[in-house]
């Protein structure tokens, strides 16, 4: 029910209630007034009768009292007059006429208690008022009834019963009530008309405000509410118009600013409020994502978090995240369909070896098969995936492509993908500098852990990764062999041919050592011409074979210098963890002891540590 109907119904209901109350009160008041008026008339008639009877008795004409009563009965409005004698009067003067005897219990009661009695007989056609008034002996007033009656003062001498019609009063009450009801009805009608004229602008303005708010919820803030009055209602209309204009301009400016950040212009049609909120929320999510990845420790954690965002924030099921190794012209598959380190699945694996075959990597531009199907020849969906589309985003770092994010989706999901692509680009834009920072930190850290000349790990790397190496060996319950190697008579090379020649020899040696062991083994330049090799999951016997292989390879190595060819030999000592010692660094000392024993016993040989080589008197 609208406000207009509510006001009308409330006014009519109030008017009806007021009229009903007025009718009830007026009728009740007239009834009470009629009873009081009738009482007064009955008392007056009774007093006239009392005085007349007393005078008649004093004057000795009491026998003519019937005429008086008859004349009173003929008075308009009076229906009957009946006088009864009390017992004291009967004893003194006799019973009187037959008409003066008691007719009902009411008169007997009045004669006994001396109290007047009044009642109304509400007959539908002719309501009658009856009053029975006692005559009480008193020495006061004129004439004095005590002159004729020999009774104590206060004795009830008799009573008079008067009945009278009050029908005319009822008619008067109804007439007056009708006039009052009509007057009130006219007044309420006029008040309703005035009220509607006063409330109408408020109701119309309220309806216009309601329509404006409804349109605003749907994103339409073009409200124009007419100002119908110059009071508070008119001010409300003005203020709502100003508010809608302010909201429209504010949201439009916000959307325009956010669109600049997203580098995407949203469609003009649609819900302005929902679109703006969605765009702002997208930026907030991207900002929170950036804050999270900035606190991640490694690139792997960042890739994992980006994978989670693709799955949960953008509801993408199939995707690939690649990292570009620009120095080697290669790409590494970091995440595929949410699996960290999974093999290349949605592209030709050739891109991993020759990164230029990836169109997004080569051009640095977004590759969108939604716009141009078949644009990238490296896209390689499964045989049953001909309905798939893909879009690849290059992750730019310092003007170069540092990674590629590829989305793969069925063709029917193209509209949904287009909607969130601008927000995903923000995510990738926020990810790029963080990844670059992590990569630079990794590069600096790697440079800090490698020997600049040979490219081998250095002693600092060993100190940092010792706990990892030991924990892995203990977890696998295997052995780890430690080889200490030292070129024989290397100082003579520097003294004879110079330090450049010595550096050449060390580089050649580092290459031989790296080629002689597995990828899982570690070759470390321990210091000067001394090297260390850690053979993981290798017992003493196998370590001896590897050491002998290295010794032979070094002996056969020929290093070409400017004017000559050098051939050098190497001495090797090794020990096994935890067989020889349950402490890693003690095992290193044992391998070093074996190395020096090899040098002392002729060089160009391999020796395994034995307990007899360790003496407390000598420190190595």
Reply yes or no on whether the pLDDT at 353 is more than 80.
yes
Nearest Cα to Cα of residue 574 among 611, 544, 551, 529: 544
Of residues 89 and 553, more confidence is placed in: 553
How many Å apart are CA 437 and CA 402, to the nearest integer?
A: 12
Reply yes or no on whether the pLDDT at 521 is more than 60.
yes
Reply yes or no on whether the pLDDT at 618 is more than 50.
no
Identify the pLDDT of residue 619: 44
How many Å apart are CA 195 and CA 51, to the nearest integer?
A: 62
Domain 3-171 and domain 309-431, same fold? Reply is yes
Give the CA angle between residues 141, 143, 146 to the nearest 5°. 85
Nearest Cα to Cα of residue 506 among 573, 454, 569, 561: 454
- What contacts 136, CB < 8 A, 6 or more positions away? 114, 154, 155, 156, 157
Of residues 490 and 265, more confidence is placed in: 490
Active site (annotated) includes residue 98: no
Q: Taking each helix axis from N to C terminus, what angle separates 414-448 and 272-294, rounded to the nearest 10 degrees?
A: 20
Percent of the chain with pLDDT over 90: 28
Residue 74: band (very low, low, confident or very high) from pLDDT cuts 50, 70, 90: low
Residue 483: band (very low, low, confident or very high) from pLDDT cuts 50, 70, 90: very high
Reply yes or no on whether the pLDDT at 20 is more than 50.
yes
What 8-state DSSP symbol labels residue 98? G
Q: Which of 50-54, 330-334, 371-375 has the lowest mean pLDDT?
A: 50-54
Reply yes or no on whether the pLDDT at 34 is more than 90.
no
Q: Which of 35-39, 202-206, 273-277, 603-607 has the highest mean pLDDT?
A: 603-607
Identify the pLDDT of residue 484: 95
Reply yes or no on whether the pLDDT at 533 is more than 80.
yes
Identify the pLDDT of residue 579: 93
Q: How far is CA 428 from the centre of its chain?
A: 28
Domain boundaries along the sequence of the chain = 3-171, 309-431, 457-613
Q: Which of 50-59, 119-128, 136-145, 591-600 has the highest mean pLDDT?
A: 591-600
pLDDT tens-digit map of 169-209 = 667 767 777 887 788 788 878 887 877 777 777 778 888 88
CATH topology of domain 309-431: Beta-Lactamase (3.30.450)
Active-site residue, from 529, 530, 555, 617: 529
Reply yes or no on whether the pLDDT at 255 is more than 80.
no
Identify the pLDDT of residue 179: 83
The total of other beta-carbon atoms located within 10 Å of residue 243's CB is 14
Of residues 406 and 126, more confidence is placed in: 406
Element (H, E) at 161: strand 156-165
pLDDT tens-digit map of 552-562 = 999 999 998 87
Identify the pLDDT of residue 188: 79
Beta bridge partner(s), residue 321: 335, 405
Instruction: Report, as an integer, the average pLDDT of 61-69.
Output: 63
Percent of the chain with pLDDT over 70: 87
Q: Residue written as tokens 């490698």?
A: 450
Identify the pLDDT of residue 119: 86
Q: Where are the alpha helices (DSSP H) in 120-166?
A: none
Of residues 297 and 53, more confidence is placed in: 297
CATH topology of domain 457-613: Alpha-Beta Plaits (3.30.70)
pLDDT tens-digit map of 396-446 = 988 889 999 999 999 899 999 998 888 898 899 889 888 888 877 766 666
Instruction: Report, as an integer, the average pLDDT of 269-273.
Output: 68
Reply yes or no on whether the pLDDT at 620 is more than 60.
no
CATH topology of domain 3-171: Beta-Lactamase (3.30.450)
pLDDT tens-digit map of 455-470 = 888 888 888 888 888 9
């Amino acid at each position: 029910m609208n406000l207009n109907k509510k006001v009308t119904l409330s006014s009519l209901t109030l008017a009806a209630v007021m009229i009903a109350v007025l009718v009830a009160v007026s009728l009740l008041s007239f009834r009470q007034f009629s009873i009081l008026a009738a009482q007064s008339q009955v008392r007056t008639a009774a007093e006239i009768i009392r005085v007349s009877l007393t005078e008649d008795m004093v004057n000795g004409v009491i026998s003519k009292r019937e005429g008086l009563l008859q004349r009173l009965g003929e008075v308009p409005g009076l229906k009957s007059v009946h006088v009864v004698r009390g017992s004291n009067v009967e004893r003194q003067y006799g019973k009187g006429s037959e008409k003066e005897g008691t007719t009902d219990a009411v008169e007997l009661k009045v004669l006994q208690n001396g109290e007047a009695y009044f009642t109304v007989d509400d007959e539908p056609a002719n309501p009658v008022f009856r009053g029975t008034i006692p005559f009480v002996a008193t020495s006061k007033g004129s004439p004095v009834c005590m002159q004729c009656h020999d009774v104590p003062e206060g004795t009830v001498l008799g009573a008079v019963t008067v009945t009278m019609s009050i029908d005319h009063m009822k008619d008067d009450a109804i007439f007056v009530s009708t006039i009052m009801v009509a007057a009130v009805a006219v007044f309420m009608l006029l008040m309703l008309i005035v009220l509607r004229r006063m409330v109408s602008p408020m109701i119309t303005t309220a309806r216009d405000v309601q329509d404006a708010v409804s349109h605003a919820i749907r994103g339409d803030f073009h409200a124009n509410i007419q100002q119908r009055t110059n009071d508070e209602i008119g001010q409300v209309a003005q203020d709502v118009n100003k508010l809608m204009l302010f909201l429209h301009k504010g949201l439009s400016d916000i959307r325009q600013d956010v669109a600049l950040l997203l580098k995407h212009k949203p469609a003009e049609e649609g819900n302005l409020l929902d679109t703006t909120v969605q765009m702002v929320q997208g930026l907030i999510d991207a900002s929170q994502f950036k804050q999270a990845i900035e606190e991640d420790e490694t690139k792997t954690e960042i890739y994992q978090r980006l994978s989670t965002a693709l799955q949960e924030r953008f509801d993408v099921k199939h995707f690939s995240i690649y990292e570009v190794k620009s120095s080697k012209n290669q790409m590494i598959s970091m995440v595929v369909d949410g699996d960290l380190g999974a093999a290349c699945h949605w592209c030709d694996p050739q891109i991993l070896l020759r990164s230029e075959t990836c169109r997004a990597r080569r051009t640095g531009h977004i590759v969108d098969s939604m716009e141009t199907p078949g644009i990238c020849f490296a896209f390689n969906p499964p045989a049953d995936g001909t309905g798939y589309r893909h879009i690849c985003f290059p992750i730019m770092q310092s003007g170069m492509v540092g990674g590629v994010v590829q989305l793969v989706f069925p063709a029917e999901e193209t509209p949904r993908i287009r909607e969130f692509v601008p927000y995903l680009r923000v995510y990738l834009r926020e990810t790029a500098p963080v990844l670059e920072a992590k990569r630079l930190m990794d590069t600096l850290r790697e440079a800090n852990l490698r020997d600049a000349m040979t490219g081998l790990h250095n002693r600092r790397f060993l100190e940092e990764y010792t706990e990892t190496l030991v924990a892995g060996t203990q977890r696998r319950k295997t052995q780890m062999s430690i080889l200490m190697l030292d070129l024989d008579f290397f100082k003579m090379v520097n003294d004879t041919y110079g330090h450049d020649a010595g550096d050449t020899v060390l580089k050649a040696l580092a290459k031989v050592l790296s080629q002689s062991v597995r990828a899982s083994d570690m070759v470390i330049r321990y210091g000067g011409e001394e090297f260390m090799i850690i053979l993981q999951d290798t017992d003493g016997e196998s370590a001896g074979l590897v050491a002998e292989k290295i010794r032979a390879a070094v002996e056969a190595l020929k290093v070409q210098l400017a004017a000559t060819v050098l051939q050098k030999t190497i001495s090797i000592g090794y020990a096994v963890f935890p067989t020889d010692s349950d402490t890693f660094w003690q095992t290193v000392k044992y391998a070093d002891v074996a190395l020096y024993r090899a040098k002392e016993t002729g060089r160009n040989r391999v020796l395994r540590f034995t307990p007899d080589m360790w003496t407390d008197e000598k420190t190595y």
